[in-house]
Structure 1
Amino acid sequence: MTATVPLVRGDEARLRIAEAPAAQAPSDRAVPWAVGTLMATTPATAREAERILSAAAAGAGLPVTVLAAVVLDASRGTPVPARAERALRQAVRTARTPDPQASPAPGPYLLPLPEDAEKALGRFFETRLRLTAAPADPETCRAFEDSLFTLCVLMGRPCAADAVHEAVQYTAG
């Protein structure tokens, strides 16, 4: 049994979608399946994949459940209508394009007290000297990693080298 959904106004073009048995409506499984497929192929988080699916449905002029059913059918080998495919491609392209208006500030948003940064930097240099003297000592390795982690958190940097550089710059001036 199939249902037809108009892709354009009027009866010029119609999309045929296979309906699931009456026990399972296609929207029950299709939307999570489509979100999961978009997460795997885009790659995107679940929230981003839901936004992509919603934007694509709006762009194609279809309900989200219908577009999700199209994505589900496409995974089973059924060709995707051109309009739905164009809308999906455009939604993915838009999601991947960074917004020039939303540029993050180039530094940590909240800086530590200079005394705390100096103390953490001093601990880092001390543990680095201890590690140079005894590289096989597990306690010294752990202390060195802890000092690096502390600098990363204090300076708001994910990279240890950037955190050390930022801390040196911050404490110097």
Structure 2
Amino acid sequence: MTASIPLARGDEARPRSDETGTAQMPSDRAVQCAVGTLMATTPATAREAERILSAAAARASLPETILAAAVLDAARGIPVPARAERALRQAIRTARTPEPTPSSGPYLLPLREDTEKALGRFFETRLRLTAAPADLEARGAFEDSLFTLCVLMGRPCAAEALHEAVQYTES
């Protein structure tokens, strides 16, 4: 029999024991506690944690209450079924993966000459940084050139901005 820590004061938060001697928590309370656990361990907002729990339950073909109990068991160090653990890991991985941004959008593109200049500056600063990795000025110039590409191409990710700038100048 596992010992449990009460989550709040009063008997409503204490797990109930069933006839097998294992601790059972009311299902709605278990879901709330599992959402809180996911919020703390993922980290995620309450809405994201609820989506993760729902997606994992659907993926594992289990009711949310059963998966919530598995999340709470895992937090207590009790082994959980592999199917539930795999489904939960996949749901968390999916929630953490950012949605892809469209490669072409309804935004204005910069002048091709400006993009070529920014790319040239990027490649120059990259060579300079490669030659002297400890040079703080070289690192600053490299980061500035990356930032310029991000702003110019309207992308938050430097790799995406670089890729799109190269594609734009080659087309």
Smaller-chain TM-score range? 0.3 to 0.5
Answer 1 or 2: higher relative contact order, Cα 8 Å, separation at least 6.
1
User: Normalising by the residue count of structure 2, what TM-score does the alignment of the two structures yield?
Assistant: 0.48
User: Normalising by the residue count of structure 1, what TM-score does the alignment of the two structures yield?
Assistant: 0.47
State which structure, 1 or 2, has the greater radius of gyration over its C-alpha atoms: 1
